[in-house]
Chain A
Amino acid sequence: MSEAVLAMVGVQAGYGGGLVLQGLDLQIDKGTVTCIVGPNGAGKSTVFRVISGLIKPKSGTVTFLGKDITGQSPSAVLRAGVAQVPQNRALFPEMTVHENVLLGGYAIRRDRALLKQRMAMVEEMVPLVRERAKEHAGNLSGGQRRMVEIGRALMLNPSLVLMDEPSLGLDPKSVAKVALLIREMAASGRTVLMIEQNVRLGMNLATHGVVMEQGQVRLTGDADGIADNPEVATMYLGKARED
């Protein structure tokens, strides 16, 4: 239990009248890369929204590093150490790469020394940030943008990184680079929780898998186990291809 970074217990949440999450239990351990899979509408993105504080759950608790963060504001959750890399573009296109990453440290803007130190750390992990520092973010390719987004999320030195479809719209080469970075993050002790429609890629990358259906967790386990589960294979992986 002590190694749990995030624990969600009996979470019910939704928009307007309906409940999307219907009593969700989920535990994420430190240093793991967990991939959530499930059909569209199963509530995967809603899980992210609840964790990051964008919607308040109707019942249930969310515990992060032993602290109850249920219903806290997005910026409080962010400061607590949960960063998010969304699926659609999130950069400021008319600012330079450097400025973009710098704004990732908005929450620690008063501490100049710390900002400087974090910037150096990010530049080391994501060399692109230094190489293209002066370029406008809008001129980067899709893969480069995703790298800068990750770099920006790292400015607050988060313990947990939420990634929504990190491979979406990226070419294979960029996907490989992003995948490498995700593994590096995990190696440096961060925990990664991601949603991925590309289930094969997700399971290759992840150490753990979570299958969601209709607002609940159907199945959890290590990634290989999930991928080998016959039901999962037919539902989400499609029947085996010849090539």
Chain B
Amino acid sequence: MGGVYALLSSGVTLIFGVLDVVNVAQGSFLVFSALLTWQIWDLTGIEPLLLIPVMGALMAFFGWIIYRGLVKRVVPQGPGMTVLLMFGVAIAMEGILNIAFGNKFKSVTPPYFTQSLQIGELVLPYPQLISGIMAVVVLVALYFYLKLSWAGRALRASAQNKDGAALVGISSIKASSLAFAIGAMTAGVGGVLLIIMYPIYPATQYDWIAKLLGIIVLGGMGSIPGAVIASMILGISEAFAQAYIPQWSAAIFFGVILVVLLFRPEGLLGEKTREDVTT
């Protein structure tokens, strides 16, 4: 589960880093992808894991459209406005999804859905195991893409210094579109991984928004390593809480966030250097 959190929150934090936009609609992107996966599986019975590239590409395209059509125009209005815009998108999408899929739990159940791998005492359900591995694979691929490709370099450059990026000829619109597309792609992949683990319905998006946002605040806004670490903390604290005090698991995570912020308002890996203050 930590892996899926890490993948999704990396998408959110990447968009934030490049655009200064908090994508609160990531949860609804995720649910959209999950329900679409369900629909295709329901109709064709196809192995859902095969849909990962399809949904990834589809959602990347969707994110690109959302950026070009909506976000781009609102960015000049400042960060508060873009958050509200994305909330608008999230609510509108929930409405559409409710109408299209109905306000019911949907679940994809491939043959391995109920099986698990047993290693000694440890019981690992296959869906969780597969999702975790797939999430990590995509995350690692994303990491190397950002580190080594020119497009990745351009993205990181835009995230670190927009004016500087414009100066060397990196189009901020192109970089932003790409960031949004990648961010939405993580939701596309995540949606597939999610629906083979849990049943989903449109309003689930709120749980996701809350968790993802908590993760990126805890990790430090815009820091992908921070997001990964915070995801692990969430995953572990949830598993722990699930085992002992199930109904309090969410409260524990938010409690952890509040305590951390009390001591480190900038988050775990948030930057606080001399540069920040002298500007």
Direct A–B contact present (CB less than 8 angstroms)? yes
A93 contacts partner chain B, Cβ-Cβ < 8 Å? yes
Q: With A95-B160, A103-B168, A104-B168 given, is the CB distance from A138 to B273 under 8 Å?
A: yes
Find out whether the CB atom of A94 lies under 8 angstroms from the CB atom of B160: yes
Interface residues in A, total, Cβ within 8 A:
26
Interface pair B161/A92, CB less than 8 Å apart: yes
Q: Which of B154, B163, B166, B275 has the most CB of A within 10 A?
A: B166
Cα–Cα, bound, A53→B157 (Å):
21
A106 in contact (CB, < 8 A): yes
Q: How far is the CA of A103 from the CA of B165 in the complex (A)?
A: 8
Instruction: Assess A152 versus B168: contact at CB under 8 Å? Given A88-B163, A90-B161, A91-B161.
Output: yes
Please, how many residues of chain B have a CB less than 8 angstroms from a CB on the other chain?
18
Report the Cα distance A94→B222, complex, angstroms: 12
Q: Is the CB of A92 within 8 A of B160?
A: yes
Known: A92-B164, A93-B275, A95-B160. A106 touches B171 (CB 8 A): no
Cβ contact within 8 Å between B161 and A93: yes
Within 8 A of A (CB), among B79-122: none
Tell me, yes or no, whether B150 is within 8 Å of chain A by CB: yes
The interface stretch among A1-9, A71-79, A226-234 is A71-79
A86 touches B (CB below 8 Å): yes
Query: CA A89 – CA B167 in complex, angstroms?
Result: 11
Q: If the complex has contacts A99-B153, A103-B153, A138-B275, are A78 and B169 also in contact, measured as CB distance less than 8 A?
A: yes
Q: Check if B211 is an interface residue, CB within 8 A of chain A.
A: no
Once A79-B169, A86-B167, A95-B156 are accepted as A-B contacts, the answer to whether A109 and B161 lie under 8 Å apart by CB is no
Chain A min CB distance to B189 (Å) = 26
A84 beta carbon closer than 8 Å to chain B: yes
| Contacts known (A78-B169, A92-B161); A106 close to B150, Cβ less than 8 A | yes
